[in-house]
């Protein structure tokens, strides 16, 4: 039986563990120094911008489309296994287009999506005003509606993945610190033979920003440079739902998301986010209150009713962004024949988790014993 150890139990690591558990003949262990969904996952808004993205071909589009397809079956599957409720919004994503937006590119994208079997709708201001009366349409002549993109609660999703994986025999250890490896050499490549004294066949590193720190005994290639980018968001509460209580899509525009919280019916709580804050020259990443306030004001400009909201809490989290290379990093660690990387997803960890798991499975097929 092949033994696979996964380091990291955010949404990516948990998804890999669950999808691998569906394959017969694997022993799977997940290690993390803290409980699940504590890092980037805990601060994510879970907005899955797949169909509405401008990616139309190649790996970037394939991963998005695969993930959106898998989520349509994965969430009900997990709810049935675990008896947990995973809040997820199936009312789509609505992107607001300001004056001057090139609508021709959206018409072209909608045509491509139609050929690919997906939907995108171009709304004029009249349709927008009728469907979402909470939007100030004065400077918004059009909008793009993606009914098949979703939003999911990342923490609830991750906890369900963990429970479902446990039910299929996956072992989790959430106090794993000071990882130690036993290295040997074979075919001019280093091979990890054991972790924490347990013999393994493959190590999958899915710890996000902790990925490099979890490899203290391994030589890190220079191109594997993952840096933190901070994001802040706000949880607010209103006396009533925004607009039509029966139609509560995620609203996005100018890099601001207004996300309905589906924990109440009717919806009166919303998340607003998120900032994008890069490290200072010192390398520190410090939340800047004025940047979060700017996000709030942009949201209010779209939905003036938000000005009357009560702030429940604010929070922030760090996203793992690869330096000088595209995100994410899903590959063999350079110089090792059985260490796989699944990290550096930046702002798309929740979106790309199912596709990441599928790519890890394909990489594993090349060297695991049947």
Question: What pLDDT does residue 369 have?
Answer: 57
Question: What pLDDT does residue 115 have?
Answer: 98
Question: What pLDDT does residue 264 have?
Answer: 81
Cis amide bond preceding 328, omega within 30: yes
Other Cβ atoms less than 10 A from the Cβ of 163: the count is 17
Q: From residue 330, give the alpha-carbon distance in Å to each of 65, 102, 358.
A: 17, 34, 10
Instruction: Write the DSSP string, 56-85.
Output: -SHHHHHHHHHHHHHHHHHHHHHHHHH---
Within the chain, which residues score under 50 in pLDDT? Answer: 370
Question: What pLDDT does residue 359 have?
Answer: 98
Fold of 1-89+151-225+323-370: FAD/NAD(P)-binding domain (3.50.50)
Provide the residue ranges of all domains of the chain, joining segments of one domain with +. 1-89+151-225+323-370
Q: Which two tokens stand for residue 180?
A: 């130690």
Neighbouring residues of 76: CB distance < 8 A, sequence distance ≥ 6: none
Q: Which two tokens stand for residue 54?
A: 């401008």
First to last CA, the chain: 9
Instruction: Write the DSSP string, 224-277.
Output: --EEEEEEEEEEEE-SS-SS-TT---EEEETTEEEEE-TTSSS--EEEEE---B
Q: From residue 290, give the alpha-carbon distance in Å to each of 275, 285, 356.
A: 10, 15, 35
Question: What pLDDT does residue 218 have?
Answer: 79
Assess contact for 302 and 251: CB atoms under 8 A.
Answer: yes
Global confidence as pTM: 0.96
Q: Are strands 202-205 and 339-343 parallel, antiparallel or unpaired?
A: parallel
β-partners of residue 124 are: 142
Question: What pLDDT does residue 356 have?
Answer: 98
């Amino acid at each position: 039986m092949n033994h696979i150890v996964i380091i990291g139990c955010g949404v990516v690591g948990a998804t890999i563990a669950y999808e691998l558990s569906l394959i017969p003949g694997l022993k799977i262990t997940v290690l993390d120094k803290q409980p699940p969904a504590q890092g980037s996952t805990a601060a994510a808004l879970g907005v899955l911008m797949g169909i509405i993205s401008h990616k139309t071909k190649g790996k970037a589009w394939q991963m998005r489309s695969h993930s959106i397809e898998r989520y349509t079956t994965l969430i009900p599957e997990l709810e049935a296994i675990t008896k947990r409720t995973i809040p997820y919004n199936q009312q789509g994503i609505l992107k607001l287009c300001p004056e001057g937006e090139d609508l021709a590119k959206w018409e072209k994208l909608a045509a491509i999506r139609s050929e690919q079997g997906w939907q995108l709708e171009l709304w004029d201001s009249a349709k927008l005003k009728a469907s979402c009366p909470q939007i100030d349409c004065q400077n918004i002549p059009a909008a793009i509606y993606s009914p098949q993109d979703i939003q999911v609660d990342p923490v609830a999703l991750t906890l369900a993945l963990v429970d479902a994986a446990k039910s299929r025999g996956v072992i989790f250890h959430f106090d794993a610190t000071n990882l130690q490896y036993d290295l040997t050499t074979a075919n001019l490549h280093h091979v990890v033979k054991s972790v924490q004294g347990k013999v393994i066949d493959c190590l999958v590193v899915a710890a996000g920003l902790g990925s490099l720190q979890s490899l203290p005994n391994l030589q890190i290639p220079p191109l594997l440079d993952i840096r933190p980018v901070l994001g802040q968001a706000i949880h607010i509460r209103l006396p009533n739902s925004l607009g039509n209580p029966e139609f509560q899509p995620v609203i996005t525009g100018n890099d601001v998301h207004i996300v309905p919280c589906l924990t109440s019916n009717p919806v009166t709580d919303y998340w607003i986010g998120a900032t994008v804050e890069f490290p200072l020259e010192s390398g520190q990443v410090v939340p800047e209150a004025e940047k979060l306030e700017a996000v709030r004001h942009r949201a209010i400009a779209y939905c003036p009713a938000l000005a009357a909201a009560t702030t429940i809490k604010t929070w922030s989290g760090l996203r793992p962004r690869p330096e000088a290379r595209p995100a994410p990093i899903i590959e063999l660690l350079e110089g090792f024949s059985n260490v796989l990387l699944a990290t550096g997803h930046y702002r798309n960890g929740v979106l790309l988790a199912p596709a990441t798991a599928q790519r890890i499975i394909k990489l594993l097929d090349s060297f695991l014993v049947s």
